[in-house]
Structure formats: structure tokens, C-alpha cells
Amino acid sequence: MNYRKLLGENIKKYRKIRRISQEQLAERSKLHRTYIGATERGERNISIDNIEKICKALDVNLKDLINDRR
């Protein structure tokens, strides 16, 4: 699986663990809700700065978002 897909799946996983909506994650990370949705579906070639914003908003480390344990 490529990193885009892996990242998207893990962002969704941790968002659900944190029990927050895409809107809430968008607000916390100062990104647009549609950007969050597309990123979770692996449709966005997300940048490292935006990955960092999402990590902070979810209170996770980048290592957590690239873990490949399903």
C-alpha cells in the first residue's frame, strides 16, 4: 500500500479513536473539511506541513500515522 493510502486510513482510524468528526478535525488543524475527507480517502498528495498539523490536531506522532498494522 502506498503512503498516501496508509496515511489516509490511519488519519481516519485515529480521528474515530478520538471520536471527532471531519469538521472538528478540519477546525483543529486549520484545514478544509473536504481536504480532510479527500486525504482520508488517499486522494490528496498531502504535504509534510499539513501532515504535521493533522498530527497535532489528533495528538498523535507521525509514526502512528504510518504504522501498517491492520
Point out which residues bind a second copy (CB under 8 A).
2-4, 7, 45-49, 51-52, 55, 62-63, 66
Q: How many CA atoms lie within 13 A of 62 on its CB side?
A: 8
| Alpha carbons 47 and 69: distance in angstroms, whole number | 23
Shortest distance in whole angstroms from residue 38 CB to a second copy: 13
Shortest distance in whole angstroms from residue 18 CB to a second copy: 20
CB nearer to a second copy: pick between 19 and 49: 49
Within a 10 A sphere around the Cβ of 23, how many other Cβ atoms?
Answer: 11
Shortest distance in whole angstroms from residue 3 CB to a second copy: 5
DSSP run (H or E) holding 8: helix 3-17
